[in-house]
Amino acid sequence: MYRGSPLRTSVREEAVVGVKYRFKSGEFISGWLLADGLREEVVKKRLTAESTVQQAGRDDWISATAIPGLLVAAAAPPVTPSVPREHEGTRVDPRHGTRPGESIHHLLYRVLHMTIHVVSHDDAHDGEAALAGLLVGVTAEGVMVEFAQFGAIVYIPLSRVRSACITAKFPTVGPPRRGEVVQIDVDAIPDLHAWATRATPEVARAES
């Protein structure tokens, strides 16, 4: 389990934290961009592993490779839905799915920096309603989810993710529509209730 630190090494959604960034590739320095803008530059291959990124309000530049999930956009190939052409006279039977195959890893990358629901099947959380958290990082081995109500960031290995659930109307490509949420079922996560109880006195002492 990880707790937040003063240095941001994860690009957050502008709607959540309002942070802006710019990147430097060789002699080129971009203008200030939101998180989505950075990811678009990765897809366009203008922001690469050799680039560095600066957060607004800071003097230092961080290697793009040190920012979790930022360069995944270039590694993950886009998923193109198979849609029959109208002139071929092919009709889609709504009873049969036409969604292309997609891994849980790719699905989670599409909701990076968005809210997801986590259902944990351990003793501490079994039977509890889904926990809402912000997906702040996706790697080849796991994901990092921030649970703001508990003041904690939890690393969940993909090997512990049992399944993922989305609605039938969830888009086949791109980010979800408003109100669409990915839910994952996992074997276990740390006891967040106990964590919050232990962390509260530390915060109180730090603020006093």
pLDDT per residue rounded down to tens, the chain (208 residues): 333 333 344 444 433 345 788 999 998 999 988 888 888 888 888 899 899 999 888 888 989 888 877 877 555 555 444 444 443 443 444 444 566 677 888 888 888 888 999 998 887 766 677 889 899 888 888 888 988 888 888 899 988 999 888 887 787 777 777 778 899 999 988 888 887 777 554 443 444 4
| CA distances from residue 67 to 48, 61, 128, 197 in whole angstroms, order as listed | 12, 11, 32, 30
Domain ranges of the chain: 14-75, 102-207
Fold classified for 14-75: Dna Ligase; domain 1 (3.30.1490)
